[in-house]
Amino acid sequence: MMRRLWKRLFIAMALVAALCLGLVVLCGVWLVFDGWSDWKRTQEELRKRGELLTVSQIVPPPISDEQNFFADPFWQPDEKGSVNLPGIEIAGAEAEQLRQRFPAFADLVKEGNRHKTIAALTRKNSLTPEQAEFVLAVIAPVTGSLDAVERLSSRPLAHYPLDYSKGLTMPLPPLTTVLRLSQIFAARAQAAAALGHAGESARDVLLILRLGRAMEAHPTMIFQMAAMACHDMACDLIEKVLPGWSDAQAAQVQAELGKINLRRTLIPALRMERAVMDATFDELQGASRSRTESILRAAYGEADESRRVSARGSFVLLVYRCGFLASDRAFLNRCVQRWIDLLEGSSETLNPQAFDEAERWMTAGTREAWGYRHLFSRLSVPVIAPTFPRLAYIQTRIFQARVACGVQRYALRQGELPSHLADLVPVELAETPRDLIGGGPMHYRRDGREYLLWSIGWNAVDDGGKDSLSERKAAKKPDWVWRGRLPDAVATP
């Protein structure tokens, strides 16, 4: 009797287990089918809109070496894949010579990166002549590299031969070098201004802007971020040294600033980001465990190839590849398209509220109960989303720098600061400047020999020119503020 009872119980439990297993299999099949259907639907919608979805469609066409800023042995990578700057490191003997020559700055001299030795001084708004001489002495050994950039700057186009087919693991040889060169140019320009060499400071500002535009020419997000860093550096420098410039120098920089449109260059970078991720999704479908781990490390920005994914992590990746990859692909494509639509929606303004709403929608999609399906979206969205407030901030700084150059030229011509920005039209500016956020007029206030330019920040509220110098994140600054003063030639004739 007991044996029959246990037998029936065992059969019932087996049936229940089989039923549960069947339900799990059916759910898995449904999730796979739903994900692939979602991806095919998304792909078809994007193609109908004429969107470019593959890397080969977005890669810039080749250009002639005569026109190419990067077609020079100076930019050739070494055996490790890096573009090196000769003399960028301070050796022990040179460090000792600098300490003996400039005892007042002996504590600043360190072996290693040159820029770190002078960074504490160049962060100031101005340098003394003695500080300027020290800065120039520190960067003197890299003058040959600076001269090479100046020689190549006359070439109108830029195209570095990046291997876009490598996707997330694509080498980026010139990236660090461009940023280091920009820092050194900025230091030299500030030192030149302190010694009264206004023409040399304006020249170096133009070279920083040229490096930024060279980065803009490449449709990758990291190159666009490098371009923004260069332009931000140039604007900070202009704010410091502009009062010493002549009308011709200010006009030349003003014209160069007018060529920069960060939104226009970010859109193809977003498309490339999407295409690279789509190629990564394709590769993941048939990738080995080691290759899958390598892709995951690249997505996380993890350089240590020796680290292994745990058994649990490997199981999660297997489930993701088999069941959720297509769904994640569809979701990430929609996220990128929503950003592109917001950037293309208006050529004159940006709407912070729309970007914030999009980010909340995307975050909810990666954090909800089913959010684990969107593994790569969960990695990508938090990295890309902060780009847009930063773009708005730096593009606004570029607008303000152009206006400030106009104020400088007006004051040199009239002997005083303008009462209103409308006074600059039509000689120094073609039209009255407007804010990127909201499209209202840019704000200006004159106070004796100084003036304040400000644009409303990412909060879309006019805070009356309130700034937060300690806040690094553009989205959290109240207003985006530019401080200027009367030209030196007018203030001390």
Q: For residue 333, what pLDDT is reported?
A: 95
- Return the pLDDT at 125: 85
Contacts 24+ apart (CB under 8 A), 47-54: 51/271, 51/337, 52/271, 52/275, 53/274, 53/275, 53/278, 54/275, 54/278, 54/279
Give 53's Cβ-side CA count (13 Å radius). Answer: 21
Q: Report yes or no: 432 and 441 within 8 Å, Cβ to Cβ.
A: yes
User: Per residue of the chain (493 residues), what is the pLDDT tens digit?
Assistant: 566 666 666 666 766 676 666 665 556 555 666 778 888 999 999 999 999 999 999 999 999 999 999 999 999 998 888 898 888 899 989 999 999 999 999 999 988 888 888 998 998 888 999 999 999 999 999 999 999 999 999 999 999 999 988 887 888 999 999 999 999 999 999 999 999 999 999 999 999 999 999 999 999 999 999 999 999 999 999 999 999 999 999 999 999 999 999 999 999 999 999 999 998 888 877 766 666 666 666 665 555 555 565 655 566 666 677 778 888 899 999 999 999 999 998 778 999 999 999 999 998 888 765 666 788 888 889 899 999 999 999 999 999 999 999 999 999 999 999 999 999 999 999 998 999 998 999 999 999 999 999 999 999 999 998 887 677 777 788 999 999 999 999 977 5
Within 13 Å of residue 381, how many CA atoms lie on the same side as its CB? 27
Q: Which amino acid is present at 344?
A: E
| DSSP symbols for 394-457 | HHHHHHHHHHHHHHHHHHHHHSS--SSGGGGTTTT-SS--B-SBTTPBPEEEEETTEEEEEEE-
User: What are the extents of the domains in the chain?
Assistant: 65-244, 275-385, 388-493
pTM over 0.75: yes
Tell me how far apart the alpha carbons of residues 201 and 189 are, in angstroms, rounded to a whole number: 4
Residue 420, pLDDT score: 95
